[in-house]
Amino acid sequence: MPAVDKLLLEEALQDSPQTRSLLSVFEEDAGTLTDYTNQLLQAMQRVYGAQNEMCLATQQLSRQLLAYEKQNFALGKGDEEVISTLHYFSNVVDKLNVLHTELAKQLADTMVLPIIQFREKDLTEVSTLKDLFGIASNEHDLSMAKYSRLPKKKENEKAKSEVVKEVAAARRKQHLSSLQYYCALNALQYRKRVAMMEPMIGFAHGQINFFKKGAEMFSQSMDSFLSSVTDMVQSIQVELEAEAEKMRVSQQELLSVDESVYTPDFDVSTPEANRNLIQKAGYLNLRNKTGLVTTTWERLYFFTQGGNLMCQPRGAVAGGLIQDLDNCSVMAVDCEDRRYCFQITTPNGKSGIILQAESKKENEEWICAINNISRQIYLTDNPEAVAIKLNQTALQAVTPITSFGKKQESPCPSQNLKSPETENDKVVPKAAVSIPEADQLIAPGTPIQFDIVLPASEFLDQNRVGRRTNPFGESEDETFPEAEDSLLQQMFIVRFLGSMAVKTDNTTEVIYEAMRQVLAARAIHNIFRMTESHLMVTSQTLRLIDPQTQVTRANFELTSVTQFAAHQENKRLVGFVVRMPESTGGESLSTYVFESNAEGEKICYAINLGKEIIEVQKDPEALAQLMLSIPLTSDGKYVLLNDQPDDNDGTSSGNRGTESEA
């Protein structure tokens, strides 16, 4: 090895500037060596820490490989080979963990420990001797300064002797510390070379022993095993590539569809809605009330299950019941300036939930599906065929009927509920009459009005200017003071389907024909929106009241109602004919068609009872007999029966359930 630079011990006593300059070079070298040693120790400790982490990691890996068998995979079919392979690998990792533990111990003893000892012993010794040398040098300088200040004329031999002894002691101490310091710096030049190489020798020996033992342990037994595992992995990879190719082709086919698949409400003009659905699923926006006047909309997944409407939030395992659809009604509504909204109303007339579809087609299909389910078609043996048949029947109604010969000639049952003594011959014909043709009842091309006579807002603007309305829906109604004095007050929840002018009011067939044409027109033009109102039947008038503002939308004198009837098959449909005077001096006839929550028979019975009251009010004795024959409330008003009996004895079959008494 090349020669090592040294500090001359002979020059320690003289302590010349040249010696001090050379000493500073050795001190700078020692400081650099200290910094490097600290960095080298950090690197070696990192290697040792990584090796310890490797031991812990292999232990955790082995446990995790064994835990695969205990995992309850939802799709764990065919994992037996994987489980057995992972068990074998777990044993291999356990053996490797033993070798890693031995290697970590060797690195601690032969790599990290020597460098720590070099830093704590040699470098710390040099640093300590440097401090002692500096103290001794300072003491020597102070003693020499004291010696130099001795007076020249008056010499005190005793003081001089003490100062001389102090200088000699300080110089001897500086000489001793400098010799020790110089020797430590000279030895450091040799020790640093040993300290740098010895840890790496231990590191290399530890790694070689680790690899040797690993090769001896696994070289023979692992070859065949790894070969079989490799073959299995390659076969799985081949299957994966084949499946990936299939998925790529399928993806291209699915992405090559028309842009209308991604565009909501693509064909808004003529959407091809399926009206025969008996089950439906998809995302809808649900309206939730968050306060007195505030609402929020939440997008949820809805689906029908039997006669129930279910809702399932995203991420939920199963859905929950939102609405029982049996005997419910559904209609399109305008809600908060949003498109494609519809409302489901319960059989008792309470407003249910309001939902919003993303397109016109979805809106119509949901309404049709809920209508089909509400009829309980799903309970039949072949619900799809029944739904198709019912919708075909509705579409066939578009074809004009030229003869009513096949219809039953019996009058509306609701008009037979009167007693023979008070029967009105004009309202209920006594004998069967010949059924006229369709064009004799309603003129061809007669327009149909699908909205109510006047919306509540327009009625307020035109007839109640300056009147204050309670914002909570409670409103006084002084326009019709006769309601307080009326013997009959009965309220029904109805939805306006349409009205049209007719040519005659001599037969109830005109009402059936108007129902057919109104429903057919709604089916053709995809009109599902209906205006819900409260129909108030009194002994003087028929009033349509807005359920929110309590404003009267329309008012008909009961004496102007010349015909009324419920549909012969769908008892929820009801209509009546009104004779109104015109400004020209003539009279016009209009038929109004409604859908009710309860059977239309009850509405017809209420109208019939009101007309009877009008007739008997002319005869006090007849009025008294009528009041005795029909139950009254505590305030003297007539009580309608919940279900009308088959015969006309006027007996009650129970308390009313679906209508509310005004």
Residue 299's pLDDT is 92
d(CA 421, CA 47): 113
Question: Alpha-carbon distance 576 to 508, whole Å?
Answer: 9
What pLDDT does residue 413 have? 42
Could you give the domains of the chain?
17-151+158-218 (1.20.1270.60), 281-393 (2.30.29.30), 485-629 (2.30.29.30)
Q: What is residue 656's predicted lDDT score, i.e. its pLDDT?
A: 34
- Average pLDDT, rounded, for the chain: 79
Of 156-165, 194-203, 535-544, the one with minimum mean pLDDT is: 156-165
pLDDT score, position 467: 41
Decide if 576 contacts 537 (C-beta within 8 A): no
Mean pLDDT along residues 105-118: 92
Confidence (pLDDT) at 593: 93
Q: What is the mean pLDDT of residues 12-17?
A: 85
Residue 451 has pLDDT above 80, yes or no: no
3-state secondary structure labels for all residues of 411-445: CCHHHHHCCHHHCCCCCCCCCCCCCCCHHHHCCCC
pLDDT tens for 119-157 read: 999 999 999 999 999 999 999 999 989 888 887 766 677
pLDDT at residue 548, as a whole number: 81
Percent of the chain whose predicted confidence (pLDDT) is above 90: 29
Question: For the residues 154-177, what does the mean pLDDT come to?
Answer: 86
Is pLDDT of 414 > 70? no
The predicted pLDDT at position 448 comes to 87
- Put the strands of the sheet holding 320-324 in their side by side order: 320-324, 308-312, 295-305, 281-289, 351-356, 338-345, 329-335
φ, ψ of residue 593 in degrees (nearest 5): -115, 135
- Mean pLDDT in residue range 169-188: 91
Split at pLDDT 50, 70, 90, the class of 463 is very low
Looking at residue 283, its pLDDT comes to 93
pLDDT grade, residue 514 (50/70/90)? very high
Contacts 24+ apart (CB under 8 A), 324-327: 325/370, 325/373, 325/374, 326/373, 326/374, 326/376, 327/374, 327/376
> Which pLDDT belongs to residue 107?
93
| Whole-number Cα distances in Å, 661 to 283, 488, 552, 640 | 39, 10, 17, 9
> Looking at residue 636, what is its pLDDT?
53
| Start-to-end C-alpha separation, the chain | 119
480 touches 543 (CB < 8 A):
yes
Compare 226 and 598 and report the one with higher pLDDT: 226
CA 148 to chain centre: 96
Per-residue confidence (pLDDT) for residue 203, from 0 to 100: 92
pLDDT in tens, 272-304: 788 888 899 999 999 988 877 788 999 999 999
Share of the chain above pLDDT 70, in %: 79
Choose between 44 and 408: higher pLDDT.
44
Task: Give the model confidence (pLDDT) of 309-361 as tens digits.
Answer: 999 988 888 888 988 888 888 888 888 778 889 989 888 777 778 999 998 88
